[in-house]
Amino acid sequence: MFTVSLIASPRAANLDADLPAGLAARWGGDAPRWLAQGIAAEFDLSKAPEDSQQVWQDLQLIGIDMAIQHSKGRRKRILIADMDSTMIEQECIDELADLAGVGPRVADITARAMNGELNFHEALIERVSLLAGLPETTVAEVLATRITLAPGGAPLVATMRANGAHAALVSGGFTAFTESVARQLGFDEHRANTLLAEEGVLTGHVALPVLGREAKVEALTEIAARLGTTPEDAIAVGDGANDLGMIQLAGAGVALHAKPAVAAQARIRINHGDLTALLYLQGYHADEFVMP
């Protein structure tokens, strides 16, 4: 049995009632269930349709995301999430670099690394080197004035935790940021790289080993084993090339507003919905959302 999820942007709320009903009839599925009027609906069917990719492309043109998953086991016990441009709306290193006067140069490297064009480890080392001499207090300044939480993140974490899930924030960014973001959103744990400083000034170095793509995979594997389950029982979300490993390993791997090279390799792509889409993908009704 398969479940088809149709999800719109909560801001647009443009999922017309005729669309899930018509698609269910076309594919011989069951009657649709509304999870949030105008935003999310789902229906079950016995086999995956052959023309799903074409339908997905057509729906993208009207701002609707679609995912088809095995119905069994959709609700996950683990949430593992990237931070930059996923749980927050910015790239922390780009914001630091802007204050250091090297913003455009670092932003270009970040964009290429996240699209898989550059080795993540080498790209991070190069970008951090450009921050040498920046006062350590700049981190707090960026957190206070430039970092905003991505829409839907708070109810995503709160709802999954209220239903017994473990939430982990795993970032290729820096612990100075993940500590704050994890606390604000209620994550159970966080992992990231450590910016090195001496006498209140960034040295331009990061503690080794660098937490990159493989470290995120290891984190998912380790957390699942610790909880007595497997990565199949996890939903993973990210947007960059260093997230692909965990996205492909998790039972539900979601590329959220992702770079083209990442989206092309992910089983589930959310281009229009926000982070609450991860709850709808698991079959949560909007009335079940926990609003912290």
Q: Which fold has domain 1-72?
A: Alpha-Beta Plaits (3.30.70)
In this structure, are residues 251 and 73 in contact, taking their beta carbons and an 8 Å threshold?
Answer: yes
Q: Which fold has domain 75-91+149-197+205-292?
A: Rossmann fold (3.40.50)
Mean pLDDT estimate for the chain: 96
Q: Where do the structural domains in the chain lie, given as residue ranges?
A: 1-72, 75-91+149-197+205-292
Q: What is the pLDDT of residues 61-82, one digit of tens each?
A: 999 999 999 999 999 999 999 9
**Structure confidence at residue 281 (pLDDT):** 98
Is residue 261 over pLDDT 90? no
Q: What is the pLDDT of residues 195-252, one digit of tens each?
A: 999 999 999 999 999 988 899 999 999 999 999 999 999 999 999 999 999 999 999 9
Q: pTM of the predicted model, to two decimals?
A: 0.96
Q: Given pLDDT bands bounded at 50, 70 and 90, which one contains residue 254?
A: very high
> Of 253, 25, 27, 279, whose CA–CA distance to 151 is shortest?
279
- Cα–Cα distance for residue pair 122/134, rounded to 1 Å: 20
Q: Which residues are catalytic?
A: 82, 84
- Cα–Cα distance for residue pair 212/241, rounded to 1 Å: 10
- Higher-pLDDT residue of 162, 118: 162
**Structure confidence at residue 122 (pLDDT):** 92
